[in-house]
């Protein structure tokens, strides 16, 4: 199902496919909030900018499915940052994200972008006694960074909490209206945006980069990889330091009962709340039920977990929207912003936003634009993309490098009648035939769709996701529909389709 944000935009497609070779100062790959924010700032500085987007509509991937809280309160992070990096770096993280809120507010005001931007307070709360001490320590940590957060025991929520940290004067908006507003300013300032244009490779040629799409190329001095999970592995090695996590969202009509503020709890399962003005009504957006993308777990209850929770407080509510999406999670909880690799000057990246990409993408755009302008940015060292901290999380690391199997080169297969008959309708499985694996989905009418269940990114064995009818990669979070079409990065190629006799 579409997100409410996507449904809120009329006249979505104003962009065309790239059908000629062109040159530009900067080539940006991806029209999510990060790519568009970079494009916006760069055209304002007089750069000639080209933005390439593989989807038909801009900002239709993670940015089009977020919950769009604009806050520097990234759940419980500041005590962790102080403990791992020290106060100076933790303060920079906090102030960079606080500044991002003001930057976004400034863009909305200056450019008159009608995106339902509103100021509100943000809370991390707990109902779990075991978490209370963590909440108190986090609040002390934030205060020690000279930021005036408050520990409170009462909030506007319709249920009791044991404790919460309040960050005042944060914000929320409609991320897609904001994205279309940025795109409008970019094109009005001579920037070019092309959709239905998938980037397949980037090569260095002398002082320039050549960005290759299916049939054309863009020559540019600078490249910004704003593709969410990078689809290029060599030199950057992001596949060794990032995975993807899926979260589920519902939008419910609470029939006039509302509360102010934006909320997330610190315990698991996670629940995130905010209201949105939508077509004359206030709808409650509830997010959570996170899991590592591609995990072999039962997903049939993912939306129900959210719905059951919200019905405790709003028993008569009506669920109007359900959607899910994924974000990149860095192993040390800090985004990767800056040079793609030390060996690729002038090629930049912003990724690993850890589900806090509304402010992080603005931080990233400012750091990268400053690099292009040759200016120092006081926050860049915290987020340095080429940092070489030891990866402490061995379990995650192991997960990401195991499960690699050899790619199969197959076109035609004979599977035993028995195997196919045993497969229930509307389910998918990886079947073994002659020692080789085949991913088979049998639709509601019994029609069979078979693919090579090996991810086209780095060859991991895919898992079947029966909720969305997709093949998901447990290593880096690429996703494909049941016909094998690529949906989410880092893979950019479709799966091989297998014909079954
Ligand atoms: C459920 C959920 C809720 C969230 N809620 C919040 C929140 O409340 N607040 C917050 O701060 N953050 C939140 N986040 C995180 C935030 O939404 C993301 O970090 C942010 O949207 C990522 O933006 P992006 O521009 O990096 O990626 P995207 O929006 O995914 O944009 C990347 C673009 O690149 C394009 N692309 C990829 N590969 C290619 C290619 N080869 N060629 C051409 N184009 C390509 C894609 O099609 C896509 O349009 C949430 C995340 C999730 C999953």
Which of 5, 29, 30 for mutating ligand 1's site (highest number of atoms within 8 Å of CB)?
30
CATH of the domain at 416: 2.102.10.10
Q: Quick check: CB of 29 below 6 Å from ligand 1?
A: yes
**290 in any annotated domain:** no
Atom 35 of ligand 1, nearest CA residue = 30
Name the domain boundary from 368, 386, 404. 386
What's the rounded Cα separation, in Å, for the pair 200 and 212?
6
Q: How far is the CA of 117 from the centre of ligand 1 (A)?
A: 19
Give the count of beta carbons closer than 10 Å to the beta carbon of residue 326: 28
Q: Quick check: CB of 242 below 6 Å from ligand 1?
A: no
Q: What is the pLDDT of residue 406?
A: 35
Q: What element of type H or E holds 351?
A: strand 347-351
- DSSP characters over 157-192: SSS--SEEEEEEEEEE--HHHHHHHHHHHHHHTT-E
CATH of the domain at 43: 3.50.50.60
**250 in any annotated domain:** no
Q: Are residues 469 and 355 in the same domain?
A: no
How does 185-199 read in b/e, with b if 16+ C-beta sit within 10 Å? bbbebebbbbbbbbb
**83 in any annotated domain:** no
**314 in any annotated domain:** no
Q: Are residues 371 and 446 in the same domain?
A: no
Q: Are residues 444 and 372 in the same domain?
A: no
Domain count, the chain: 2
- For the stretch 390-425, pLDDT in tens is 554 455 555 555 443 333 333 455 666 667 777 889
DSSP annotation of 417 reads: H
- For the stretch 315-361, pLDDT in tens is 999 999 999 999 999 999 999 999 999 999 999 999 999 999 999 99
What's the rounded Cα separation, in Å, for the pair 236 and 239?
8
Q: Are residues 439 and 490 in the same domain?
A: yes
Q: What is the pLDDT of residue 295?
A: 87
Q: What is the pLDDT of residue 33?
A: 98
Residues 6+ apart with CB under 8 A from 10: none
Q: Are residues 367 and 441 in the same domain?
A: no
**148 in any annotated domain:** no
- Give the start-end residues of each E strand in 385-434: 412-413, 427-433
Q: How far is the CA of 173 from the centre of ligand 1 (A)?
A: 15
Give the domain extent around 475.
412-500
Q: Are residues 489 and 353 in the same domain?
A: no
**224 in any annotated domain:** yes
- For the stretch 107-125, pLDDT in tens is 999 999 999 999 999 999 9
**29 in any annotated domain:** yes
Q: How far is the CA of 445 from the centre of ligand 1 (A)?
A: 34
Structure tokens at 417: 């009648």
What's the rounded Cα separation, in Å, for the pair 191 and 176?
19
- The pTM assigned to this predicted structure is 0.92
Asked whether the beta carbons of 446 and 496 are under 8 A apart, the reply is no
């Amino acid at each position: 199902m579409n997100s409410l944000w996507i449904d809120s935009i009329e006249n979505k497609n104003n962009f065309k496919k790239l059908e000629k070779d062109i040159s530009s100062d900067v080539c940006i790959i991806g029209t999510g909030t990060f790519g568009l924010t970079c494009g916006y700032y760069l055209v304002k500085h007089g750069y000639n900018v080209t933005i390439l987007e593989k989807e038909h509509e801009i900002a239709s991937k993670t940015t089009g499915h977020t919950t769009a809280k604009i806050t520097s309160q990234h759940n419980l992070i500041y005590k962790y940052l102080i403990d791992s990096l020290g106060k100076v770096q933790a303060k920079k993280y906090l102030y960079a994200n606080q500044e991002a809120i003001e930057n976004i507010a400034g863009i909305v005001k200056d450019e008159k972008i009608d995106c339902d931007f509103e100021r509100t307070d943000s809370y991390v709360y707990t109902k779990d006694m075991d978490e209370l001490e963590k909440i108190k320590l986090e609040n002390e940590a934030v205060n020690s960074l000279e930021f005036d957060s408050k520990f409170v025991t009462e909030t506007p929520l319709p249920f009791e909490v044991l404790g919460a940290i309040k960050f005042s004067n944060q914000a929320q908006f409609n991320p897609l209206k904001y994205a279309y507003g940025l795109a409008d300013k970019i094109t009005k300032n001579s920037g070019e945006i092309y959709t239905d244009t998938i980037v397949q490779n980037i090569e260095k040629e002398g002082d320039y980069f050549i960005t290759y799409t299916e049939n054309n190329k863009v020559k540019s001095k600078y490249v910004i990889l704003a593709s969410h999970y990078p689809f290029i592995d060599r030199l950057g090695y992001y596949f060794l330091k990032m995975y993807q996590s899926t979260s589920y969202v519902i939008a419910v009509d609470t029939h006039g009962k509302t509360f102010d503020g934006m909320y997330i709890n610190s315990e698991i399962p996670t629940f995130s709340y905010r209201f949105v003005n939508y077509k004359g009504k206030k709808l409650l957006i509830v997010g959570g039920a996170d899991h590592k993308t591609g995990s072999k777990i039962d997903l049939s209850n993912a939306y129900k977990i959210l719905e059951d929770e919200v019905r405790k407080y709003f028993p008569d509510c009506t669920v109007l929207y359900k959607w899910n999406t994924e974000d990149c999670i860095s192993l040390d909880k800090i985004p990767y912003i800056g040079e793609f690799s030390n060996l690729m000057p002038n090629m930049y990246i912003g990724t690993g936003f850890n589900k806090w990409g509304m402010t992080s993408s603005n931080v990233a755009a400012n750091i990268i634009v400053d690099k292009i302008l040759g200016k120092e940015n006081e926050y860049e060292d915290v987020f340095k993309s080429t940092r070489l901290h030891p990866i402490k999380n061995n379990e995650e690391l192991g997960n990401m490098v195991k499960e690699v199997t050899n790619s199969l080169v197959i076109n035609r297969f004979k599977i035993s009648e028995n195997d196919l008959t045993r497969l229930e309708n509307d389910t998918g499985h990886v079947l073994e035939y002659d020692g080789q694996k085949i991913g088979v989905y049998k639709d509601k009418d019994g029609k069979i769709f078979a693919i090579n269940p090996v991810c086209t990114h780095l060859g991991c064995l895919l898992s079947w996701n029966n909720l969305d009818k997709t093949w998901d990669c447990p290593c880096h979070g690429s996703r494909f529909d049941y016909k094998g079409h690529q949906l989410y990065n880092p893979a950019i190629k479709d799966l091989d389709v297998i014909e079954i006799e």
